[in-house]
Amino acid sequence: MIMVTHDQLDALAIADRIAVLRNGILQQVGGPEELYLNPANMFVAGFIGQLRMNLLPCRYRGGDTPAFEGRGFSLPAPAALAGALGNAQELTVGFRPETVEVHRSQTAGAAAAVVETVQFQGERLICVMRLGDEPIHVSLDARVRLDAGAAVWLAVACDQLHVFNRDGGERLSGRTVPAPEAATPAN
């Protein structure tokens, strides 16, 4: 059966395979988990998921401590990118709101941020934070207590970062998810 919907949350919930179109052009085809964890480009990254992927313009800085540097922030970059990316190359780095670790004190590898809003949503808190000059969304367990105006430090594991070409929007590197294993029937 083929179902056409603009509600990507319904598609994630019921589809075996999803085709994402933009202006009539196929962007990506795959299972829900594949599209969520491995978006082919910035459009799919920003479209799939209840909260869109945070997409931040930055430059890659190589060297002994590679980093993605944006307007007022710096995030550690995977050392494996050293040969693939040119120094000062303009990119977009992306990460999902639920992959952010929030620390209340300065932590190595974490970037300073300020909590702007906190929305209680039952089992989750949805926070808008300011990372340098960039607003980002962070999804946290509701047992975490944060107040608007609080200074925090944010860390995102390198294996949770997605790197996109800023011009064309295609993904250059990032998390990959293996194909799902076939279920083995019980004897």
Pick the CATH number of 51-173 from 1.10.3430.10, 2.60.40.10, 2.40.50.140, 3.40.50.970: 2.40.50.140
What are the structural domain ranges in the chain? 1-50, 51-173
- Whether residue 149 contacts residue 156, with contact meaning beta carbons closer than 8 Å, is answered with no
- Residue count of the chain: 187
Cross-strand partners of 18: 30
pLDDT per residue over 1-54, tens digit each? 888 888 888 888 999 999 999 999 999 999 999 999 999 999 999 999 889 999
Report the run of H or E that residue 26 belongs to, with start and end: strand 25-30
Biggest CA-to-CA distance, the chain: 58
Residue that has been written with the tokens 């007022």 in this structure: 72
pLDDT at residue 111 above 90?
yes
pLDDT score, position 183: 43
Q: What is the pTM of this model?
A: 0.85
CA separation for the pair 90, 170 (Å, rounded) = 13
Query: Which structure tokens are listed for 72?
Result: 């007022």
